[in-house]
Amino acid sequence: MKKFLKYMSPFAPDQSGVCGVFYELGGLIIICDAGGCAGNICGFDEPRWFDKKSAVFSAGLRDMDAIMGRDDKLIQKLSLAYEQLGGKFAVIVSTPVPAIIATDLRSLERMGEKKINVPCIAIDSTGTNYYDKGEEKAWFRLFETFAKESFEKKVGKVGIIGATPIETGFKDAGNLKKYLSEKGYDDAVIYSMGTTLEDVTKAGECEKNIVISLAGLKAAEYLKGKFGTPYEIAYPFIPENILAEAHKYSGKNILIIHSQFAANELRNSIGNTANIKCATWFMQDKDFACDGDIALSGEDDLIELLEKENFELIIADEDTLPLIKSTGYKGDFIDYPEFAVSGRLLG
């Protein structure tokens, strides 16, 4: 049965993806929900919540707010919070409730901006999509709103688009910088991790952007069009121990289940790519897929794949293992934690 999970728990939703992009940039983030969605984001999908403060709030919607469509009340609450805390911008993150009652998010943006006089962005996440869809919208709106001015290009400066704790499994930029340094990128701006809104406004300074997730692609295209900044696709954040273990299986039939760019990077690193298939629970772009790569829409798709193919090694998040074992799979397994699946961090 499609969309039925017997073995796994639901993955990180789009509203978590939106929040992750804006989290460190100094704005007011309002989850337009009744409380549960904000709880899931802060308590589970945003690992920075416990040691890096950010103004993330729930709108505290109640049934009559939803029934009566009291947008003005939300703007009043936003205004009060802005008076108390300030902020460089405001983001209103939609959830299932506003999606169902068809809240006019554009109107909320206009009302919000008029009231507090700073940019107000409303993102139409729905809670039915996964984090990458939310991140895609957030990355695009972030650069579209704040990266407007052209700057002289700085030699060697590289922008990293797409890195969030959900995407990378790392909750601070320190580890990511280490990986980038090893690849020779010493002057890298990892947008939304360890950087500021000012870094976003100066995006035009970068000589090149590196897009590490499919969710960042539209934003990179925007920056290419706006400032002529070229971009390349890469995923330099795969832990050494996983690479080393995976290399031992070069030449064997392998299935990698991870976000598309990470899985592709791992495949290329292992070599003998013809024997390696990549699958993902999340977005997949055919332009970056090889023959046989698959976008998994649910547990049934993976079961079907494993019944059809004979893999000797599967590289995936350990939370997938009970599902894999249920098919009678007898091959080897390497645990490559994927935060959007299990909520486990790499560092």
Q: Among 128, 150, 241, 327, which residue sits at the site for other proteins (rule: CB under 8 A)?
A: 128
CB of 217 to other proteins, least distance (A): 23
Pattern 15-44, other proteins, x by CB under 8 A: xx-------------x--xxxxxxxx-xxx
Q: Among 18, 19, 22, 45, which residue sits at the site for other proteins (rule: CB under 8 A)?
A: 45
Which among 61-69, 112-120, 163-171, 220-228 is the span making contact with other proteins, rule CB under 8 A?
61-69
What's the token pair of residue 312? 């000797």
CB of 94 to other proteins, least distance (A): 11
Whole-number Å distance between alpha carbons of 93 and 125: 7
Q: Among 20, 27, 66, 252, which residue sits at the site for other proteins (rule: CB under 8 A)?
A: 66
What's the token pair of residue 65? 């707010």
Find the helix or strand (DSSP H, E) in which 263 lies: helix 260-270
Q: Which of 121, 149, 141, 296 is nearest to 219 (CA)?
A: 141
Count CA within 13 A, CB hemisphere, residue 146: 28
CB of 19 to other proteins, least distance (A): 11
Q: Is 304 in the site for other proteins (CB under 8 A)?
A: no
Q: Exposed, middle or buried: residue 276 (CB in 10 Å: 0-12, 13-18, 19+)?
A: buried
Give the neighbor-by-neighbor strand order of the sheet with 231-233.
188-190, 158-161, 208-211, 231-233
Q: Which is nearer to other proteins, 17 or 204 (CB)?
A: 17
Vertex 12: Cα angle to 66 and 124 (nearest 5): 40
CB of 342 to other proteins, least distance (A): 6
CB of 98 to other proteins, least distance (A): 10
Whole-number Å distance between alpha carbons of 231 and 223: 9
Q: Which is nearer to other proteins, 86 or 271 (CB)?
A: 86
Q: Is 12 in the site for other proteins (CB under 8 A)?
A: yes
Pattern 305-334, other proteins, x by CB under 8 A: --------------x---------------
Write the Ramachandran bin of 338: left for phi over 0, alpha for psi from -120 to 50, otherwise beta.
beta
Q: Is 150 in the site for other proteins (CB under 8 A)?
A: no
Look at the chain and count its residues. 347
Interacting residues toward other proteins by CB under 8 A: 1, 3-6, 9-16, 30, 33-40, 42-45, 49-50, 53, 55-63, 66, 77-78, 80-81, 83-86, 95-97, 99-101, 126-128, 130, 319, 342-343
